[in-house]
Chain A
């Protein structure tokens, strides 16, 4: 167990912002806290590293009450990335990333090796970017550095508060993929706050949907889409296209059939989702597509009826 909320409460000016929160976060989860503005999702995140104090109940980090840790020690064990990034404008990229390792007293050589490793992981060439200042970077590059800084001291948990919310869609998509890769490669426990449903469906291993400071529903993306617990959940996820959203969570790879008769004229990559395949069919006015791998070899075909009936 990485983090556990037990009957956690938070009051703002006497009014309850979080009421009786109970939640277990396992090692290696990418847990997305999803919800409309004012649902308390950021508050939940900030209570974990005590940027916001809780008023009732307990929060446990690795089995110990977070209040029993030294405040600075606790925070150094948790990476933190926010929408406005908050890079130190007077320090270079390398110096920014080195912040927590230096606080922990790593030697210079180890710090430098770690900085280079992280810049490479976030697809920024160390030679080109290490000595730049934040204002010399684009928004997307700044947030890459922000994520690298959060990962610098190899923290137990990564806390991310709408980190990609201010980026344009193309940059955001690139960073979402980068984060997915990092999660797969490192197995880090990540708490991720967003109000963007598609981002949540894409990234989450589990979604916790919050409303007015309590959990409306928790579960995998598919569970939320297939069995919304109540009207709020269904409305929030977009009642009208729940089905389409489900299609985007499923890959066609397992539904490739051998080609019967002539090979279909149009092809699609074997990594595509149901949604991409059906969208492709609709544009081309066909109901069958051949499936190809990276090298262009035909693996088989997919049929519209087959995808929709599954």
Chain B
């Protein structure tokens, strides 16, 4: 995050990166002369097997579905640790969340393929599983960041456990949780590119085709769209965090 940036400037950067992304994804065929000049030795300097925009939307679709699943599962699992029965599972979840960071996504994909075959499904499965861990960790950290005196006085004023969860713990955990979702989604955008190796159509396809066919231009085009997509998503979260800032900023100063 860049807390010192002016909100207006931030919105401009987001708009600019989205515009650049759309321009490149939809206008790629029109860049033929440019890439032909850059790569004079290549007979086909622009990736045209599938429209880049279509790959981008498939990529976004895969990331959206897998991230939504991951966020849902991780958030519910994290919140469950605040309940009487869920408390026992908290150490296990903390261990899992910590372990997840050392687990390479390619390995998850490699395990998923023999289990469910090639195509979208193993990609979806692997990306969902991989996306759970940062969100779970952030949910637990967010809940742990609620100051004990705040929880004590909530209890002592006669708030019910459900009230405390929805009106105290969840709003106060929100900034850290959102940071975890951001990490999960941005990492997921990059990881989804690798999913092309198991048959899912994503922005990884031009990169893989380019690498196996010694076509550097394809690699560059895929990588640029992919990079812009990740930047736009990151900036969108930045904007969202700022929009919530007024509501939650006090957390930094408390305790």
Contacts and interface: CB of A to CB of B under 8 A. Distances in A.
A165 to B, nearest CB: 13
B159 A99 contact: yes
Interface in B199-254: 247-254
B66 to A, nearest CB: 31
B156 A89 contact: no
Contacts of B156: 49, 51, 75, 78, 80, 82, 159
5 contacts: A51-B152, A72-B158, A86-B149, A86-B151, A89-B147
A221 interface: no
Interface string B115-149: 00000000000000000000000000000000101
B153 A82 contact: yes
Interface residues of B, number: 25
B153 A135 contact: no
Contact of B157 (A80, A89, A133): A80
A86 B158 contact: no
A134 interface: yes
Q: Which 10 A-B pairs have the closest CB atoms?
A: A86-B153, A75-B158, A86-B149, A135-B253, A76-B158, A84-B149, A80-B156, A89-B250, A89-B254, A72-B158
A51 B253 contact: no
Interface in A68-97: 71-76, 78, 80, 82, 84-90
B197 to A, nearest CB: 45
A29 to B, nearest CB: 21
A103 B159 contact: yes
A191 interface: no
A103 B151 CA distance: 16
A100 interface: yes
B157 A100 contact: yes
Contacts of A99: 157, 159
Interface of A: 49, 51, 71-76, 78, 80, 82, 84-90, 99-100, 103, 133-135, 149, 159
B198 interface: no
A88 B252 CA distance: 13
Nearest to A72: B158
Given A75-B158, A85-B149, A103-B159, 10 more contacts: A73-B158, A74-B158, A75-B155, A80-B157, A82-B149, A86-B147, A87-B150, A90-B250, A103-B158, A135-B254
Nearest to B153: A86
Contacts of A135: 249-250, 252-254
Contacts of B168: 88
Contacts of A71: 158
Contacts of B160: 72
B143 to A, nearest CB: 14
Contacts of B247: 90
Contacts of B100: none
A72 B159 contact: yes
Contacts of B248: 90
B158 A133 contact: no
Contacts of B55: none
A89 B172 contact: yes
A159 B159 CA distance: 17
A49 B152 CA distance: 12
A99 B160 CA distance: 12
B190 interface: no
Contacts of A100: 157-158
B251 A89 contact: yes
A99 B155 CA distance: 12
B119 to A, nearest CB: 45
A76 B157 contact: yes
Contacts of B251: 89-90
A89 B152 contact: no
A90 B171 contact: yes
Contacts of A51: 152, 155-156
Contacts of A49: 156
Contacts of A86: 147, 149-154
